[in-house]
Chains A and B, each alone.
Chain A
Amino acid sequence: MDVETLGAIGGAMSRAATPLALAAVGELVTEKAGVLNLGVEGMMLAGAVAAFAVTVATGNPLLGILAAMAAGMLLALLFGVLTLSLMANQVATGLALTIFGIGLSAFVGRDFVGTPLTALAPIHLPVLSDIPLIGPLIFGQDPLVYVTFVLVGGVSWFLMRSRAGLIVRAVGENHDAAHALGYDVIAIRYRAVLFGGAMGGLAGAYLSLVYTPMWVENMTAGRGWIALALVVFATWKPWRVLVGAYLFGGVTIVQLHIQGMGGAIPSQLLSMLPYLATIGVLVLISRDALRIRLNAPACIGKVFHPES
């Protein structure tokens, strides 16, 4: 392994991790407010197709990204109406949202299959991007990689340091107490769910505009589920979401490199590595039972009704 290969691995890792981290950090806020939305895959697909369609139509990827976030929020709103206003079961509604999102995105995207699109170019900082190893990893990435860091930092600050974030956590921890204190539990949860939708949509936009600028049906290929698992992996801590996404992306890229070197291990067994590594690291960081219990929102998935 020379420095250049390590740099390539680092660059590829951060790109593979970005959609996972975006979707996961949105879901983390949703779950911190006490709502479990399993429809991440559906929201990502809606975002991916909206971003692609709008960018093709207008030629403006920024509009595409905004459309993706709007599409993700629209699906999240549907989820919110069902689970928050009509108090439907969150697990089932989230899964139904994924089915709906897969179908809807395929339907909307039918005319875009086989349409090319120019990708958002990575930012090339002369000198800095050319530093071996650090260059490709830290500089010379596409803008959304940096935006992801900012978003994760922002979410971390918001939840841990801001008054509004404290209220969100209180609502997820004990909605009856928060209600008794006069907070509008449902309104706060709506906002958290919508934020989750926007992030899921943004993650989808990253896939269809930057990562692989195209539209093919079901192009998220299960990344929404990985994002859901990463929230659990992170024990509901924003920075750990990023660590988890980079770990998962990193192991994925490394196993491909091992394959490319022509090892004797069957590729299926190598492909298991990212999943096994995530389990292994989770086991390592989960042993402190008390601290995890403090992080997990106690009211997650529970229906709130002020009279009950």
Chain B
Amino acid sequence: MSRSSRFITLEARPEPSALWVWAAPLLAVGLTLIAGGLLFAALGKDPVAALAGFFLKPLSSLYGLGELGVKAAPLALIAAGLAVGFRGGVWNIGAEGQLTMGAVVGGGVGLAFLESTGPLVLPAMMLCGALGGMAWAAIPALLRTRFNANEILTSLMLTYVAQLLLSWLVHGPWRSPSGFNFPETEMFGPAATLPVLIEGTRLHLGVVLALVVVGAIWVLLGRSFIGFQIKVMGLAPRAGAYAGFSQRRVIWMAMLLSGGAAGLAGLFEVAGPIGQLQPAISPGYGFTAIIVAFLGRLHPLGIVFAACFMALTYLGGETVQMDMGLPLAVTGVFQGMILFFLLAADVLIRYRIRLGRAASAKAL
């Protein structure tokens, strides 16, 4: 029996379609342009100008391209880390908290060496940023492996705890003595700030390093034995257990890797464009990265594309607010629509659409 309504039948392909892997996103973009055009026209705006403002204008300058990198890098870095866990059936949804702790621990190092001009400050901050994220992810890993507590709940709850901890630090003990007691720390010194790579943009070293880490994760997943174990445990935990793979090790690996990546992303935010610790570090990168991971089909290369695309929708949203007076609410609706189209178009990769009442599966 295949699933059929009166006219449309989805029929599984024997192999995922190589054509549709690339064509599906294009179809989604096409549908987005049509639906978006209708949406903007319904709001009384010129659809062509609105769509151009949304998708093209942010990329029409060198600065804009740099901003795309600044916005996409943390998303790609976190998503690549999360994808490892998602493949292994480990559900870390607390990346936002791990990002916060990476910023706190790594940023704390920067605050401890405010006067230092040594070349080691920045590497030490990065290391501690990654360690801070790892430490925060280690808690759910420990609670899961030791007490069987589900990591979805623990990692999410710890996100709120991390944000409150940051809030307490910047309102209290780490507050800058020279800042009129506003909730901010001292600005990091030049030695603790990620250098800008292209003059006239904000494209900083962290963006490049994020890509390097994503590449490293790709290699790890594809080439290493632990990567293989993670994949097997995600697909067939029983088979993995027969082969002697330890689920405990997979959980620890996945949590530490995703936590470390998120922590590093948090450190890049504070040592890059922000330059200090303050109450708000990330506009929800840790949660958005979950979408990015799946949009990119849990594959590092796909994730980089998905992160750029997602970043573009945020930049485009700002642009149409500014240029056309479209409220943020509209860009949220539009962003949701784009994601729906993308996710729905993916069905064509694995299924064929048959029109007319299909015969039963046996007859094929």
The answer to whether A and B touch in the complex, with CB atoms under 8 Å apart, is yes
Please tell me if the beta carbons of A89 and B343 are within 8 angstroms of each other in the complex: yes
The interface residues of chain B lying within 8 Å CB-to-CB of A308 are 12
Taking a contact as CB atoms under 8 Å apart, the answer to whether B291 and A279 are in contact is no
- B255 interface hit (Cβ, 8 Å): no
A103-B332, A107-B330 known; A95+B287 contact, CB < 8 A:
yes
Q: Is B157 in contact with A276, judged by CB distance below 8 angstroms? A: yes
Nearest A residue to B5 by beta-carbon distance?
A85
A151 within 8 A of B: no
B22 to chain A: closest CB distance in Å?
18
In the assembled complex, A58 has its CB within 8 A of some CB on chain B = no
Task: Say whether A9 faces chain B, with CB atoms less than 8 Å apart.
Answer: no
In the bound assembly, the distance between CA atoms of A31 and B335 in angstroms comes to 26
Inter-chain contacts of A97 with B (CB < 8 A) = 336
- A104 touches which one: B11, B293, B329, B340 (CB < 8 A)? B329
Q: Cβ of B127 < 8 Å from any Cβ of A?
A: no
Q: A167 interface residue, CB < 8 Å from B?
A: no
Question: Are B148 and A287 within 8 A (Cβ)?
Answer: yes
Contact between chains at B150 and A282 (CB < 8 Å): yes
Cβ of A62 < 8 Å from any Cβ of B?
Answer: no
Tell me the smallest distance from the CB of A202 to a CB of chain B, in Å. 22
Q: Does B167 contact A (CB under 8 A)?
A: yes
Main secondary structure of the interface of A (DSSP, over half): helix
Asked if B57 is at the interface of the complex by the 8 Å CB criterion, the answer is no
Q: How far is the CA of A82 from the CA of B333 in the complex (A)?
A: 16
Partner pick for A106 among B154, B329, B347, B361, CB 8 A cutoff = B329
Closest to A282 in B: B149
Assembly CA distance A271 to B171 (angstroms) = 15
B153 with A279: CB separation less than 8 A: yes
In the bound complex, what is the Cα–Cα distance between A186 and B149 (angstroms)? Answer: 30
- B10 and A87 within 8 A (CB): yes
- Number of A residues contacting the other chain (C-beta, 8 Å)? 50
B158 touches A232 (CB 8 A): no
Q: How far is the CA of A101 from the CA of B335 in the complex (A)?
A: 11
Interface range, B side:
35 or more
Chain B residues with CB below 8 A from A307, complex form: 2, 11-12, 361
In the bound complex, CA of A283 to CA of B171 (Å): 31
Decide: A95 near B291, CB < 8 A? Known: A88-B347, A103-B331, A279-B143: yes
What is the count of residue pairs linking A and B with beta-carbon distances less than 8 angstroms? 151
The minimal Cβ–Cβ distance linking B190 to chain A, given in whole angstroms, is: 31
Check A14 for interface membership: any CB of B closer than 8 A.
no
B346 to chain A: which residues have CB within 8 Å?
88-89
- In the complex formed, the residue of A with least CB distance to B293 is A92
B213 lies within 8 A of chain A by Cβ: no
Which residues of A are found within 8 Å of B293, using beta-carbon distances?
Answer: 92
Asked if B172 is an interface residue, CB under 8 A from chain A, the answer is yes
The answer to the question of A166 belonging to the interface, with a C-beta cut-off of 8 Å to chain B, is no
* B-side contacts of A116, CB under 8 Å: none
Q: How far is the CB of B5 from chain A (nearest CB, A)?
A: 8
Q: How distant is the Cα of A251 from the Cα of B247 in the complex, in angstroms? A: 34
Label chain B's interface by main secondary structure.
helix
Say whether B351 contacts A100, CB under 8 Å. no
> Which A residues lie within 8 Å of B158 (CB)?
275, 279
In the complex, A276→B165 CA distance in Å? 13
A99–B148 CA distance with the chains assembled, in angstroms: 31
B290 touches A104 (CB 8 A): no
Q: Is the C-beta of A162 less than 8 angstroms from some C-beta in chain B?
A: no
Shortest B70–chain A CB gap in Å is 21
Cross-chain contact A103 with B153 (CB below 8 angstroms): no
Is B148 within 8 A of A92, CB to CB?
Answer: no
Do B330 and A100 have beta carbons less than 8 Å apart? no
Please determine whether B148 and A82 come into contact, CB atoms closer than 8 angstroms: no
Binary CB contact string for chain A from 79 to 94 against chain B (1 if under 8 A, 0 otherwise): 0001000111101110
Cβ contact of A100, chosen from B152, B340, B347, B361, cutoff 8 A? B340
Within 8 A of B (CB), among A192-218: 217
Complex Cα gap A95–B147 (Å)? 28
Q: Which residues of B contact A110 (CB under 8 A)?
A: 327, 329
Question: Measured between C-beta atoms, what is the minimum distance from A35 to chain B in Å?
Answer: 15
Q: Does A77 contact B (CB under 8 A)?
A: no
Inside 8 A of A100's CB, which chain B residues have their CB? 332-333, 335-337, 339-340
Cα A87 to Cα B346 with chains together (Å): 9
Indicate if A286 sits at the interface (CB-CB under 8 A): yes
Q: Does A261 contact B (CB under 8 A)?
A: no
Per-residue B-contact encoding for A7-28, CB less than 8 Å = 1, 0 else: 0000000000000000000000
Q: Which A residues are in CB contact (< 8 Å) with B295?
A: 92
**Complex interface bits, B156-171 against A, C-beta within 8 A gives 1, otherwise 0:** 1110110011011001
Kindly state the separation between the CA atoms of A199 and B2 in the bound complex, as whole angstroms.
32
**One of B148, B328, B335, B337 near A289 (C-beta < 8 A):** B148
Within 8 A of A (CB), among B72-110: 86
Q: How far is the CA of A102 from the CA of B168 in the complex (A)?
A: 28
Q: Is the CB of A92 within 8 A of B343?
A: yes
Nearest-neighbor residue (CB-CB) of B89 within chain A: A301
Name the residue on B nearest A186 (C-beta): B3
3 residue pairs, one from A and one from B, having the closest CB atoms: A103-B332, A100-B336, A92-B294
- Interface pairs (7), CB distance under 8 Å: A88-B346, A95-B290, A96-B339, A99-B332, A103-B335, A268-B167, A287-B147
B interface list, Cβ under 8 A from A: 1-3, 10-12, 86, 143, 147-150, 152-154, 156-158, 160-161, 164-165, 167-168, 171-172, 287, 290-291, 293-295, 327-337, 339-340, 343-344, 346-347, 350-351, 361
> Which residues of A are in contact with B by a Cβ distance under 8 Å?
78, 82, 86-89, 91-93, 95-97, 99-107, 110, 186, 217, 225, 228-229, 232-233, 235, 266, 268-269, 271-272, 275-276, 278-279, 282-283, 286-289, 292, 305-308
